[in-house]
Structure 1
Amino acid sequence: MLDENTRKYYTGFVWDVALNIVSSAIPIAVLQLVILPTIASATSSEKNGQIVTLISFLTLAAEPFGFALNNTKLLVNETYTMEKSRGDFNYLLLISIPLNAIIIIIGTIYYAPDGGAVFVFMMLLTSTIILLQRYFMVFFRLTLNYRRILLDSFFLCTGYLIGLLLFNTSRDWILVYASGSIFSLSQTLWHNKLLKGPIRRTPFFKNILKKNSILLFVEFMNSIVKYADRLILYPLLGGVAVSIYYSATIISKLISLAVTPLSTVILSYFSKMESLKRRTFYVMLSVGLTVGAVCYIFCVLIAESILNWLYPKWAAESMQLVYITTACAVVGAVNNIVRPAVLKFRNISWQLLLGGADTVLYIGLAYTFFLIGGLKGFCIGLLINAIIQLFLRVVIFLTQPQST
């Protein structure tokens, strides 16, 4: 029998996971079931592929800076609290914004050379807002206030839907993401104390800069792996191939609805723990594999109906890839469950190795198998890489000593 405190702990954990799943599911559902199909139906397959590529680039550039600061804050917050120290993070935030701007300007000109100055400015504005929102959201994670994160999702979706109305009159898709990001950040800042933090360096700055730099590198590697498929395919095969491929991955988004929120809650709880037993790790891994297998079967069964409903123009071509892309998503989901354990309880330097290996293998395997089997070969290369990454993380956790 569990004592009262243990029962409350696990009940709170399950409740927070449920809230975070709903918080993630709502905006993803609005995007995947309403926003993106509407944009796709109003554009050609070539233009839609370019839009999907630009959306991927937009988040690839902004999220690493925001999430690196977010996770660094989670990992070291206890130290700052004990020492009653304030600073460093808003200072790092001001450094991150111009670095993100440089990446966005260069990438936007490359992927949309005919976009014009106004479009580049809108990409830059939206990307900056996304970066700020991803960082300041950590305040709710530190206080385990997942109700506030749920509220943020409603604001985000409201902004998306208002942006969709603007798209219907202007045919400018960036307004959807700009509107959603503005609504989301407004709610986050209204209930946030981190913005009031001083812009100064503390005696911890050197150590924090090192941790943040490592996590920034890792987040960039993770984002490249997450979004590079579209960024690579667009120059190789054009927008039509991106549209077909992206539609094939729509089913796998159902899996990420549950697993990505679970991963963030796990890290939030791990931030308050000193160690993790092997037995607990084995349970996490086993549950992840079991749930993943069930999700795979379910997603494959419903794939054809959903694709014909959302993307009828190229559903038949996408169905040929669904079995591989869904398997890739399942393995990636289990990887995301294991990842917080390695991040928190093993030397942070391992993140450099894992991030670098993931990126090199991802690009190398995807391109090699693309040369062999075209678009389907590309997907097989991604699946092989996902399996290798899961294996590496499990081995590192089981064989390496706990970080101090």
Structure 2
Amino acid sequence: MKTKKFLVDSLLNIISAALPLLVLQLISYPLIARVLGGEEYGMIITLISVFTVVSFPLGNVLNNIRLLKDKEYKEANEEGDFNPLILGSSFISIVLIITVSLYVDSSLDILDLILLSLITVGSLWKEYLVVTFRLVLNYRGILLNNLFMSLGYIVGSFIFLYFESWQLIYFIGLLFSLVYIVRHTSLHKERYKFSSLFKDTASKGMLLYIANLLKNILSYADKLILLPLLGPVSVAIYYSSTILGKIISMMINPVNSVILSYLVKVESISLKKVIKMFSISSLLGLFGYVATILISPYFLEFFYKDWAEQSLELVYITTATAIIGVLSTVLQPFNIRFNKISWQIYMSGLHLIVYVASSFYFFKIGGLKGFTFGVLIAAVFKLIMQLSVFLLNYRRNNSTHSSS
């Protein structure tokens, strides 16, 4: 792994992830909140969580499986599998988004459901097709793609002022992104056929999808759980308290996709390098935590004045949860690359159990603040799990190699 290129690619991917995120968090979301008010904003944030949970795991899994198995397909001179898989995933995502969205908000009309379906499928295809840049370690391409998507979000935000349809912000942003990607990839032109590698690809994809689905459900479960418990206004208060922490964490998380892109090209990695990466991430996380706590009063007062005071009471806890989540995801690429994918399901399942138990237990004790503390406990548990699984398998693999 070439350190200089890895650092440059990591920086490019951080900027790439930050661009659309900052546009959404600093322009689009505050605009929606001011125009539509706290109650409707809370409901919209919940619906955004729903479409993200539905689309991201499917697209991300196909992206990672394509990355992990691309060499195998080339060596076997095989083509296919992925376009049929993404077509089937698109159909599944439409059924899921309509069903879950109507459960969350039964007042949605046919136009809302059509737009939700379009942005869900668009997000799925975008998440998969962007692998074309990861396969050749072209992170400048990812940066340009996200720049176009950010411009689309800005255009969509202006259009939102006239139509007051938040889905148009995402639709136009994804449209800009897909137009750019399609011009620079041929993956969507691959034949719709099944190869001799399909069974292994589909089975690994299914295992990783279940793990990713559980992970993403947990990432957005807070909004989905709080809505029936305390209503949309509490969702707005809670979400506002998490924004800066999420920005910091989502600016660090892109390093993980770079790590996996490089790991698929090596057969092993030293424990020293893993510890070094984890230590650097911890220092960045600590800096991010302090910066978030200092900035939050000014940020919330400016963008979410109506409920800034209530959100500030939660910032210390929600930011710690976000940073600890970053440290967990730093370890995940190593577990995906060098351990069995089934481990991801076991860890996600255990995390889900602890998450539900701790969040509900502390909610009963301390209401919204107690709920946030319960989520923090679950995040700490997840970090310990990721670290334990990596070390356990690393030692087992090393002892196997030394004995042989």
Question: Which band: TM-score by shorter chain?
Answer: over 0.9
Match for residue 183 of structure 2? 190
Equivalent in the alignment of 1:111: 104
Which position in structure 1 is the counterpart of 2:330?
337
Shift in Å at residue 171 of structure 1? 1.1
The equivalent of 1:27 in structure 2 is: 20
Query: Are 2:91 and 1:91 equivalent residues in the alignment?
Result: no
How far did residue 322 of structure 1 move? 0.1
Structure 1 residue ranges (4+ consecutive) displaced by more than 3 angstroms after TM superposition: 401-404
Residue pair 1:72, 1:212 contacting (<8 A) in 2 also:
yes
The answer as to 2:239 corresponding to 1:265 is no
Question: 1:200 Cα deviation (Å)?
Answer: 1.1
- Structure-1 separation of matches of 2:74 and 2:349: 33
- Answer yes or no: is 1:310 the counterpart of 2:332: no
Identity %: 38
The CA deviation string for residues 314-351 of structure 1, in whole angstroms up to 9 with x for no partner, is 10000000000000011001111111011111111111
Q: Does 1:207 align with 2:221?
A: no
The CA distance in 2 between the partners of 1:396 and 1:207, in whole Å, is: 24
Residues 13-46 of structure 1, C-alpha deviation per residue, up to 9 Å, x if partnerless?
1110111011111111111111100111112211
Residue by residue over 1:341-391, the C-alpha shift from the partner in whole angstroms, topping out at 9 and shown as x without a partner, is: 111111111111012112222222212211111111111111111111111
Q: What CA distance in whole angstroms lies between the structure 2 residues aligned with 1:119 and 1:93? A: 23
- Tell me by how many angstroms 1:402 deviates: 4.3
Q: Which moved more, 1:172-181 or 1:241-250?
A: 172-181
Which stretch has the larger CA shift, 334-343 or 106-115?
106-115
| Aligned equivalents of 2:259, 2:124: Cα separation in 1 | 22
Q: Distance in 1 between matches of 2:273 and 2:11?
A: 20
Q: Paired residue for 1:17, among 10, 14, 21?
A: 10
CA contact (8 A) 1:70 1:138 kept: yes
2:249 corresponds in structure 1 to 256
The C-alpha deviation readout for 1:93-125, integer Å capped at 9, x for no partner, is 121111111111101211221111111111011
1:140 touches 1:148 (CA, 8 Å); kept in 2?
yes
Query: How does 1:115-154 map onto structure 2 within 5 Å?
Result: 115-154=108-147
Deviations 1:245-293 (A, max 9, x none): 0000011023224321111111111111111211111112222222211
1:295 aligns with 2:281: no
Cα displacement (A) at 1:142: 0.7
Q: How many pairs align?
A: 397
- Cα distance, 1:227 vs structure 2: 0.9
Q: 1:48 aligned to 2:41?
A: yes
8 Å contact from structure 1 (residues 74, 271) kept in 2: yes
Whole-Å Cα distance in 1 between the matches of residues 208 and 237 of structure 2? 33
Describe the shift of the 1:223–1:257 C-alpha distance in structure 2 as closer, same or farther (beyond 3 A): closer
Q: Is the 8 A contact 1:276 1:345 kept in 2?
A: no
1:249–1:325 Cα contact (<8 Å) kept: yes
The separation in 2 between residues aligned to 1:174 and 1:258, in whole angstroms, is: 24
TM-score, length-scaled by structure 2: 0.96
One-letter code of the match for 2:364? L
Aligned equivalent of 1:3: none
TM-score by length of 1: 0.96
For structure 1, list consecutive stretches of 5 or more residues without a partner in the other structure.
1-5
1:241 aligned residue (234, 238, 242): 234
Secondary structure of the structure 2 residue equivalent to 1:85: coil
Shift of 1:183: 1.2
Whether contact under 8 Å (1:346, 1:402) holds in the other structure is no
